[in-house]
Amino acid sequence: MVQKRVALPAVGLGLLAAGGLAGRAIVRRWRDNPDPLNGQPVRFPAGDRRTVRLPDGAEIMTATIGEGPTIVLVHGLTASKNDWGPIAPTLVAAGYRVLAVDQRGHGESTPGTAGYGSTQLAADLAHVMDELDVHAAALVGHSMGGMTAMTYAIHHPDAFAARVDRLVLVATAASLETARHQFGLSLGRVHIPQSIVPADERLRVGAGLGVFGRAPSLHMVDEAIDMFRACPEPVRAAATIALKDHDVVDQLGIITAPTLVIGAGRDQLIRPHQIDELAEGIPSASLELFPDAGHMVHWEEHNAIAQLILDHVGTEVPGT
């Protein structure tokens, strides 16, 4: 299932413009692919909702389900707590209390005035963890959520140690300083006309090749597009550009919690060497790589990743 290194395919900047016969053929193939989501919408289960007000006026929405030790889930850029819908029920079935956070400006949380970037988002998370009095938690972050989680551990080490026992970082990186990432992040400001409907083949092909692996299902691609478009464009642009400053490579040694790093061999946003860098820089880290998955590995391999999280915190899924 996992291996250390897999070469990534080259994907050009023309993905979003793909269409015509080639685009239709790709979409037809994806329509026939097995669907890891079984046709279900990506939604976080209904649970107890609490809003945490931050000093700059941002209101952070959280949702909690289940009973037992706490697992905190933090989503990535343009997503929301719904991003964890495929994984949360398995964690609850294993006897955990699962707390999902909408980061500022995303989902049901408001933007506030303090801006974005991993430093600000980490301060937000520290405030939420304190306000909700979370203890002995496993903290799981995907992509930007992983950057938030690692920056929380680095910039707020005492608060982190008091509230978090274990860390899981999924499809994320310690730095986005390379020219490739700087250019890619600049594209986050690009306006997508409303005339391009979610079912547009160009958008489907761009999304599928950009954030999924070898064999995405069309349903999964469409769910990703819906989640992306639900994020307000000003939030998407501001949060994307703010991530340019994320760089904690030289500070990874501060993270002492047992850490699981999960990567994907066909991730077009976070390359395998960045996953290696992250795992090698954190003293207590272990690494798992899914060779055929993409950036949305937590959807494509949600059952396996749920089990990895439970293994990391010392529990097996009942009946497996």
CATH of the domain at 142: 3.40.50.1820
pLDDT for the residue 197? 52
- pLDDT level of residue 153 (50, 70, 90 thresholds): very high
* Mean predicted confidence (pLDDT) in 248-273: 96
The CA distance from 227 to 137, in Å, is: 27
Q: How confident is the model at residue 24, as a pLDDT? A: 84
Determine, yes or no, domain membership for 5: no
In a domain, 20, yes or no: yes
> Residue 201: its pLDDT value, please?
80
Residue 296's domain comprises 15-312
From the CB of residue 183, how many other CB atoms can be counted at a distance below 10 Å?
10
Overall average pLDDT of the 278-290 stretch: 97
Beta bridge partners of 261: 169, 287
* In-domain check, residue 2: no
Per-residue tokens: 179: 């020219």
Percent above pLDDT 90 for the chain = 80
Mean pLDDT of 264-280: 95
CB atoms within 10 A of CB 257: 17
Spatial contact of 28 and 208, defined as CB atoms under 8 Å apart: no
* Tally of domains within the chain: 1
Q: Is the pLDDT of residue 93 over 90?
A: yes
List, for residues 172-225, the tens digit of each pLDDT value.
999 997 544 544 455 455 555 555 555 578 889 989 999 999 999 999 999 999
What pLDDT score does 320 carry? 45
pTM of the model: 0.89
CA dist 75 and 62 (Å) reads 12
Q: Does residue 202 fall inside a structural domain?
A: yes
- Taking 60 as the threshold, does the pLDDT of residue 13 lie above it? no
* Average pLDDT score over the chain: 88
| Burial letters 107-138, b for 16+ CB under 10 A, else e | bebbbbebbbbbbbbbbbbbbbbeebebeebb
Please give the helix or strand (H or E) that residue 61 lies within, else none.
strand 59-65
Per-residue pLDDT at 2: 37
150 lies in some domain: yes
pLDDT for 30-72, tens place per residue? 999 999 999 999 999 999 999 999 999 999 999 999 999 999 9
Q: Specify which residues 44 forms β-bridges with.
A: none
247: DSSP letter: B
* Residue 320 forms part of a structural domain: no
Least confident of 130-139, 173-182, 220-229, 250-259: 173-182
* Beta strand pairing call for 164-170 and 70-74: unpaired
10 band by pLDDT with thresholds 50, 70 and 90 = very low
How confident is the model at residue 194, as a pLDDT? Answer: 55
Q: In this predicted structure, what is the pLDDT of residue 122?
A: 98
Q: 60 forms bridges with which residues in the sheet?
A: 52
H helices of the chain, where?
20-32, 88-93, 118-131, 144-155, 157-163, 179-186, 201-211, 218-230, 233-242, 272-281, 297-300, 302-313
For residue 32, how many other CB atoms are within 10 A of its CB?
A: 9
pLDDT band for position 17 (cuts 50, 70, 90): very low
Question: What's the mean pLDDT in 82-89?
Answer: 98
Interval 108-137 mean pLDDT: 98
Find the mean pLDDT for residues 297-304: 98
Task: With respect to residue 117, please indicate whether it lies within any of the assigned structural domains.
Answer: yes
Please list the helix, strand and coil fractions of the chain in percent, rounded to the nearest 5, in that order: 45, 15, 40
Q: Is residue 96 part of a domain?
A: yes
